[in-house]
Amino acid sequence: MCGRYVVSQTVDDLVDEFDVEHVEVRERLEPDWNVAPSKQVYGVLTRRRRDEPDAQPQRRLRTLKWGLVPSWADDPAIGNRLINARVETAAQKPSFRRAFAKRRCLLPADGFYEWRGETKGKKQPFFIHPRDGMLAMAGLYEIWRDPSRPEDDPDAFLWSAVILTTDATDDVGQIHPRMPMLVDPGKWSDWLDPDHTDTDELTAMLSPATPGTLAAYPVSTEVNRVANNGPHLLDPVTL
């Protein structure tokens, strides 16, 4: 699974990295070295404007709440449980299948944390990161309508996301058997295309990270507490 990750890039950095055409960020997020579920995160997605349904879809950057709330949910608290989705079954699961078919996104990250060990309270955190560049984690997003708010209320619609996970590669499998599914830059357009709805083809275009592209090292258990933040969390420690 993926329960914490890091994003230090600015909006301008992400616009350049992901060739974003339109920024829909109401409030810019601060660099976060301990991103946890329920936080707002940056997501890259491709959508048409509601008032221009015949126009070409644009690649957009916006904030999403980490923890997917299906459009049919009665209670948005369901998102607290839906932070990860197994890529092997997401296209069939009721909570994810509509989003998998039409609402896919990329979730940028410097890297992510994973814990090794079996004893509760004694697991060792590791920071896992690309040897070069940044990660584009495969995600799904949904838009949930709050029936208690008028439609013109900017908070009437909750945008949320889930991270797709897969079997870990040898690089990180010794730490944890699952890891975020990553999308290669050459497949970003196809993955984000809202007109591409063949779930078999979409699933086939995803593949685990190429062996050797990721590195991992142990970090302080300070990362275990969500309240702790700052670049010092990435400092390596000696076991």
Active-site option among 114, 118, 142, 151 = 114
pLDDT in tens, 29-76: 999 999 999 999 999 999 987 777 778 899 999 999 999 999 999 999
Please report whether residue 117 resides in a domain: no
Other beta carbons less than 10 A from residue 141's beta carbon: 21
- Whether 27 is a known active-site residue: answer no
233 or 171: which leads in pLDDT? 233
Q: Which amino acid is at 207?
A: S
pLDDT in tens, 190-230: 999 999 999 889 988 887 777 788 999 999 999 999 999 99
Residue 181 placed within a domain: yes
Q: Is 239 within the bounds of a domain? A: no
Query: Do the domain assignments include residue 128?
Result: no
| Residue 142 annotated among the catalytic residues of the structure | no
Calpha distance 183→71 (Å, rounded): 25
- What is the distance, to the nearest Å, from the Cα of residue 129 to the centroid of all Cα atoms in its chain? 14
The answer as to whether 89 is a domain residue is yes
Q: Is the pLDDT of residue 115 over 90?
A: yes
- Dihedral (CA of 59, 65, 70, 72) sign: negative
In the chain, how many domains are there?
1
Question: pLDDT digit string (tens) for 76-110?
Answer: 999 999 999 999 999 999 999 999 999 999 999 99
Q: Residue 16 belongs to what domain range?
A: 4-111+134-211
Residue 134 pLDDT level (bands cut at 50, 70, 90) = very high
| pLDDT class of 120 with cuts at 50, 70, 90 | low
Give CA–CA dist 167/161, Å, rounded: 20
Q: What angle do CA 142, 23, 202 make, to 5 degrees?
A: 45
Q: Record the pTM.
A: 0.95
Residue 127 domain-assigned? no
Query: How far is Cα 52 from Cα 141, in angstroms, rounded to an integer?
Result: 21
Token pair 């600015």 is at which residue? Answer: 10
Asked if residue 232 belongs to a domain, the reply is no
3-state helix, strand, coil in the chain (%, to 5): 20, 35, 45
Q: Which of 2, 17, 30, 201 is catalytic?
A: 2
CATH value at residue 49: 3.90.1680.10
Amino acid letter, residue 206: L
In a domain, 225, yes or no: no
What is the separation, in whole angstroms, between the first and last Cα of the chain? Answer: 23
